Structure 1
Amino acid sequence: MGGVGKTALAKHIYNIILQKYQEKRVCLITVSQELSIKKLQDEIARSICLDISDEDSEDMRAARLNRAIGNNFILILDDVWQNICLEKLGDPLSLSGCRLILTTRSLEVCCRMGCQEKVEVQKLQADEAWDLFKQKLGLDMALAPEVEEIAKSMAKVCDGLPLGIIVLAGSMRGETSIHVWRNELDKLRDPSMVQDGEEDEVFKVLKYSFDRLGKN
């Protein structure tokens, strides 16, 4: 689901590859819902120092990518919403030592793209969520016992989703008034904050937190 940490995990893997496997070339691209093959082609070309701006044909651009990618190339596609034809991206999996890593909300997308290994990113446990909340709230900030109880309740509203916890804790950083904490918790629990049809549990927390940040 959204906000569970897929993008953070993809970036972490990207950084590890850069640091520990310097013989490999790696490209991290955010795909999102508005899929553009040419944009993806341009991003891959840029990562391997290839200029394909003079070519309009997607197929010709893909052929040039295939010749230039070479071996030991790792392509990381973040936030994939639909099946992507890898042949249009230079068919990297046909080349020796090349690998594909992708993040998606959809198990169907994983299957359609032929993923050999599928890993579901789990939500944080209660103690992990609270530790993250405290970390983002600020380690130099000691909470009064009454405020801490309210803060723990706010962290629970995030339902173990790291993105919601990070944004919410950031919006409360530096706040010491128990009355403010109590009022903000009531607002966060207000069911009217989520419209009918909202499928992301994290949306309510993000909307509340960004609205609050806009008032600070």
Structure 2
Amino acid sequence: MWITVSHGANTLKKVQDEIAKKLHLYDERRNKNEWTNKSESDKAAEKRYTQFLNGKRFVLMLDDIWEKVDLETVGVPEQTRENGCKVAFTTRSREVSLRMEDREPMEVKCLEPEEAWESFEKKVGVDNLARDSRIMELARKVAEKCSGLPLALIVIMGACSRGVD
């Protein structure tokens, strides 16, 4: 399960709601309020939620966290060799990494400007960029503004490849 948390969100609520959505515990059109109105502890104790998280091997990827996520409160079982569960996360903060008790931190460096541009160009498509010199110029400026941050580039590239001007 891949969950992009991001800054400013109620982290615990966001993680629980996204896990529930991925487990199809509620239908957004029919019974979303039934889930979202529950307390955090009720969500973590929800039978279908705990049965899945305690009964299956899974990998939970928490992307772009800005504060510690209390996995126990979320309802995520402790990672053990026996249950095969894995939790990974990305953060820009060394302090958050320490609070999460990361046992094997790995630093991901920003892409070099030329690598970032090549990735951007490949994803968006050379033909799309070459249609107009102003598009190419603007695209280079946008890629530069992302400062080689992979997440920022992915978001911008995705929007551009869908035809957002």
Amino acid at match of 1:42: D
Match of 2:108 among 121, 132, 137: 121
Q: Secondary structure at the match of 1:92?
A: coil
1:106, distance to aligned residue in structure 2 (A): 0.7
Alignment of 1:88 onto 2:73: yes
How far off its partner does 1:127 sit? 3.8
CA contact (8 A) 1:130 1:155 kept: no
Runs of 4+ in 1 over 4 A off after TM superposition: 153-159, 164-168
Partner residue, 1:98: 85
SS, match of residue 115 in structure 1: coil
Return the offset for 1:80.
Answer: 0.7
Shift in CA distance, 47/114, structure 1 to aligned 2, threshold 3 Å: same
Q: Deviations over 1:185-204 (max 9, x none)?
A: xxxxxxxxxxxxxxxxxxxx
The secondary structure found in structure 2 opposite 1:29 is strand
**Aligned twin of 1:112:** 99
> What is the CA-CA distance between 1:53 and the residue it aligns to?
2.2
Structure 2: gaps (5+ residues): 27-33
The alpha-carbon distance between structure 1 residues 135 and 111, as it changes in their structure 2 partners (threshold 3 A), is same
Query: Paired residues, what number?
Result: 141
Bigger Rg over Cα: 1
The separation in 2 between residues aligned to 1:167 and 1:61, in whole angstroms, is 33
1:49 to 24, 29, 32: 24
1:31, 1:84 → 2: CA distance?
10
Calculate percent identity across the aligned residue pairs.
37
Q: Could you say which residue in structure 2 is the equivalent of 1:30?
A: 4
TM-score by length of 2: 0.61
C-alpha distance in structure 2 between counterparts of 1:54 and 1:129, whole Å: 39
Q: In the alignment, which residue of structure 2 is the partner of 1:131?
A: 118
Report deviation, 1:98. Answer: 0.9
Query: Do the aligned partners of 2:64 and 2:89 also contact (CA within 8 Å) in 1?
Result: yes
- Relative to structure 1, is the Cα distance of residues 111 and 132 closer, same or farther in structure 2, using a 3 angstrom cutoff? same
8 A Cα contact 2:79 2:86, kept in partner:
no
**Root-mean-square deviation over aligned CA pairs:** 3.9
1:123-165 alpha-carbon deviations (Å, 9 max, x no partner):
22344234335446743449x9xxx9x89x9589544445469
Asked whether the 8 Å contact 1:28–1:78 carries over to 2, the reply is yes
In structure 1, the residue corresponding to 2:24 is in which secondary structure? Answer: coil
CA 1:135 to 1:59, structure 2 compared with 1: closer, same or farther past 3 Å? closer
CA contact 1:129–1:155 (8 Å) conserved in 2: no
